[in-house]
Structure 1
């Protein structure tokens, strides 16, 4: 028996490592495709602008004013036409939609919604609307991961692993920050860290970064050469505290402006997008640095091209313009704009606190980290993203100070969750499922499955006698398109009745003597279902039907028995 137990344990571990190998291969494939899709996304956005306009798509301030206004109106017109012609179900895109499909639809993301996300986001970015590339990237990567999982017929936990691979891969390819991509998937999408998912997700993230780096080249967001060393002083932390207060107020303004605008989601898309077009056109005329999602304005600040008094106005206008654009339904991201807002806010604070210990580039960096952390409640993602984008660890201590304090004050004083979580809450959905559901989703039927013997409805007596050597308790047979469950011990007991003479269940076929299972003993009809994705689906089936047991069809024409009693015992033991 000890040998059997050791063999069973080894087989179970072998299966788990085989699962990990499969997930690693699929994760690598997901990372490859995520990198390629993000490169295509870049090409669709940047190449037309460079060809027709002759400048980068984010350098809108270099264009004549009529071009800036014309692009913004054209983008809103095209987007209104597209959404008017599309069915309502295809209007849902972005990070909140990914979380919704993960929590309520087992991670099943429709392909056509991703196609809509790809082209509508590209139109908005080319038109200079104040949105980012990151939200669309997350949607595209998550859809790709979910698609690969469905094609591979993975169980629910495998779907979630591949979805995390897609999210991490897309963020990594957009920013070329592999570790921040992994943390973003866990902090923002799943709202928890999952150790069993880490290896495939890391692999996907690294491969996506390599693909992006090879095809696009290194992405230098902005230079921080002027940060040689950070001297921790009282003046520095006083300025950091002032920055935190500024960032917390900005993040509150960023969210609550959107909340006000969510009320108008049922208003005609023509009215909403017309408002966006007019406001964006005004910004294009008077403050073109607020257009797009690029880091041009922040680079200009660090190079000294902006005067001090214009920074505060730029920060407020950028915050309100992005909130207006996203809040009224343009399908774009928010991470890039929050980086710009935070960086400009940090530069403004640095210019106010003139000191030898306070560097403009350093505070731009701190503002970026604090604004992202406060807006999305993703402290580690913000910290690691900044370190990876700047290739510098000089600012870790003050960055941790502003990140933690910004997140804390945002939660305590404004009771504010992530922007994505707030959006889901506004429409009556939760951003994370309860731990019990999560636990059920992480398990397949294997822990609660019992082996069954597959028998013919008429069984040779020699085979019935051979059942005495089996250790399997149950057997099933099919009769008139229905499945029946019998106990092995009951079959053996029925066989013993031959001692009292011929039985009515005996069937003679030539030289063979058979037992007719349909008349030999009482058998219980049992329903047959395909293998569920997770124990959550099994529990839901039992609750819906009220039946005590079910026959599950496994790959390779195998079957197993799952009972409600066995499921309850498993849950009680693991609780």
Structure 2
């Protein structure tokens, strides 16, 4: 392992000798990550087709049409057996025996300096391909993002790059994966910066764009250059129709909130179900298979269903049935342990909700309506934006997936309305809610990462005023006056911390010299003060200071050995925190 890393480090050094500019080197690495992620997305999609062919006898995206020709027990058995295989695979190969997704990518980017396991990335992709191939109501874009991110993180780790460059290359993998999945280079670049990286600094944005274009090129070479959905033009009939699009934004927010909350409810129900975790996906598969006997549109990613909704194939009643069934199937699939994303289900739910809304709106104001297909496109964008928490990149994704620029204004209005409502009544996105349930608050972002990476050992003071337990009061008075931290530390003969003394601790003895020979340090010291170890981070230190009310905390070697080795002050902690934070900000902005 050490030899391998040494070889990669020498490779980076050789590149630097040829290309004497770190920004150009980053561009080259972004190109490599973009091509690798694009190829990985191609392989991932082909693997899904293989698994789907094994389960259903067809790898076509219009799975709902194919299963209508299968016997009932086949439709019921395929997702059940697939769920059992997925459950066992996740149980034995994935950390914490849980699927991985976009939330884990965001956590790695924001809190772990871009570190991700390439092995977990590969296993997660296999679990997701099995889930989608078996017909689970999950998306393929989230797993593609996780796979691309893990490739970028792998290269950064091999080359032993800085944390800032680690995060940038992880973002490059995300951008390339999104771009390759949707044939959408603009959306891929913006999604990576909007959702994962969290800023648009040129140092990060430029390589992300390079990776996004590279991923798109690989995808187009394999799948061809055409939009995901082939539609006729949908020109806006009238600006008087915009209030209807605002109403669709409200309805889309309701659908998005219902979808996300349903997944949370199903997850809670799964936790209370007295079954082993590896068996729960099989239960979900059985439920989805039973639903598919009546509503086959719930199976798989559902792009065929989305396109049919756009082409006005379904009537109002059918659209409502698909809407309810797809939300339930998605909740069960995610809640009970299938591996996959949420974008594809959000598109299906948005399309059928938009189609149903469009039928009603068109029947009321036929002369002002742009047609039902227009409402399906707008509904797709509005629901997906609320779920992803990415209004800008989602608008671009819809545009690049449909090649329909005329509806952009309508999509933008509905996306803004839907995003604001879902943000206010639920959360910023499904991924943010996932992280919040883990106790992670992204509002702290890089600040939390900085506080968790600086150790107490780096900021503690080692030159302290220490006294023995027999030190007299007169000496204590002089030492407190000269102390730079306003505190004295009392130790025994072995250097073990006995307690601390501050001026308030001497309040009743401070000016009574008659007690100088009667009272010593051991008598006035506060025993069992709050303590830290050298390996604690400064986040732990700040929290301890807040709860204890102390501004100076003694530091010991470890929790068992109370030997005093230093102390930290609130001022020193915050000074170091601000210094490192400013360094990170300069790195992000590309300043040396």
Correspondence for 2:40 among 37, 43, 61: 37
* Alignment partners' CA distance in 2, 1:276 and 1:332: 14
Q: Does the 8 Å contact 1:90/1:116 carry over to 2? A: no
Note the C-alpha offset of 1:370: 0.3
Counterparts of 1:115-134 in structure 2, within 5 Å, are: 115-134=122-141
Note the C-alpha offset of 1:58: 4.0
* Alignment partners' CA distance in 1, 2:22 and 2:317: 58
Tell me if 1:56 matches 2:68. Answer: no
Note the C-alpha offset of 1:287: 0.2
Scaled by the length of structure 1, the TM-score of the pair is: 0.71
> Where does the alignment leave 5 or more consecutive residues of structure 2 unmatched?
1-16, 454-537, 543-554, 558-564, 568-572, 587-592
Note the C-alpha offset of 1:67: 2.9
Cα–Cα, structure 1 residues 25 and 432, in superposed 2: closer, same or farther, change >3 Å? Answer: farther
Correspondence for 1:328 among 329, 336, 350: 336
* Alignment partners' CA distance in 2, 1:74 and 1:222: 31
Note the C-alpha offset of 1:36: 0.8
Note the C-alpha offset of 1:39: 0.9
Correspondence for 1:199 among 170, 194, 206: 206
Correspondence for 1:347 among 344, 355, 368: 355
1:185 is aligned to 192
Moved more, 269-278 or 345-354: 269-278
1:173 is aligned to 180
Correspondence for 1:312 among 290, 305, 320: 320
Q: Does the 8 Å contact 2:80/2:289 carry over to 1? A: yes
* Alignment partners' CA distance in 1, 2:426 and 2:66: 41
2:257 is aligned to 252
Note the C-alpha offset of 1:362: 1.1
Note the C-alpha offset of 1:243: 1.2
Note the C-alpha offset of 1:285: 0.2
2:243 is aligned to 238
* Alignment partners' CA distance in 1, 2:199 and 2:248: 28
1:269 is aligned to 277
Counterparts of 1:348-427 in structure 2, within 5 Å, are: 348-354=356-362, 355-356=366-367, 357-412=369-424, 414-427=425-438
Correspondence for 2:290 among 260, 279, 282: 282
Residue 154 of structure 1: SS of its match in structure 2?
A: coil
Count residues with an aligned counterpart: 448
1:267-317 deviation line (CA, Å, top 9, x unaligned):
522452243122201221000011110311122233343222110111121
Cα–Cα, structure 1 residues 58 and 436, in superposed 2: closer, same or farther, change >3 Å? Answer: same
Residue 353 of structure 1: SS of its match in structure 2?
A: helix
Cα–Cα, structure 1 residues 568 and 54, in superposed 2: closer, same or farther, change >3 Å? Answer: closer
Cα–Cα, structure 1 residues 176 and 206, in superposed 2: closer, same or farther, change >3 Å? Answer: same
Note the C-alpha offset of 1:85: 3.0
Q: Does the 8 Å contact 1:96/1:423 carry over to 2? A: yes
Cα–Cα, structure 1 residues 47 and 76, in superposed 2: closer, same or farther, change >3 Å? Answer: closer
Q: Does the 8 Å contact 1:410/1:416 carry over to 2? A: yes
Q: Does the 8 Å contact 2:231/2:311 carry over to 1? A: no
* Alignment partners' CA distance in 2, 1:441 and 1:428: 14
* Alignment partners' CA distance in 1, 2:120 and 2:360: 46
Note the C-alpha offset of 1:215: 1.3
Cα–Cα, structure 1 residues 153 and 298, in superposed 2: closer, same or farther, change >3 Å? Answer: same
Tell me if 1:107 matches 2:118. Answer: no
Residue 280 of structure 2: SS of its match in structure 1?
A: helix
Moved more, 189-198 or 201-210: 189-198
Counterparts of 1:5-44 in structure 2, within 5 Å, are: 18-44=21-47
* Alignment partners' CA distance in 1, 2:556 and 2:435: 27
1:522 is aligned to none
Note the C-alpha offset of 1:437: 5.4
Cα–Cα, structure 1 residues 326 and 572, in superposed 2: closer, same or farther, change >3 Å? Answer: closer
Residue 80 of structure 1: SS of its match in structure 2?
A: helix
* Alignment partners' CA distance in 1, 2:582 and 2:48: 54
Residue 269 of structure 1: SS of its match in structure 2?
A: coil
Residue 388 of structure 1: SS of its match in structure 2?
A: helix
Q: Does the 8 Å contact 2:50/2:59 carry over to 1? A: no
* Alignment partners' CA distance in 2, 1:547 and 1:256: 49
Scaled by the length of structure 2, the TM-score of the pair is: 0.69
Backbone CA RMSD of aligned residues: 3.3
Cα–Cα, structure 1 residues 266 and 190, in superposed 2: closer, same or farther, change >3 Å? Answer: farther
* Alignment partners' CA distance in 2, 1:182 and 1:544: 47
> Where does the alignment leave 5 or more consecutive residues of structure 1 unmatched?
1-13, 443-534, 549-562
Q: Does the 8 Å contact 1:311/1:345 carry over to 2? A: yes
* Alignment partners' CA distance in 1, 2:290 and 2:580: 63
Q: Does the 8 Å contact 1:224/1:362 carry over to 2? A: no
Q: Does the 8 Å contact 1:103/1:433 carry over to 2? A: no
Note the C-alpha offset of 1:247: 0.8
Moved more, 142-151 or 426-435: 426-435
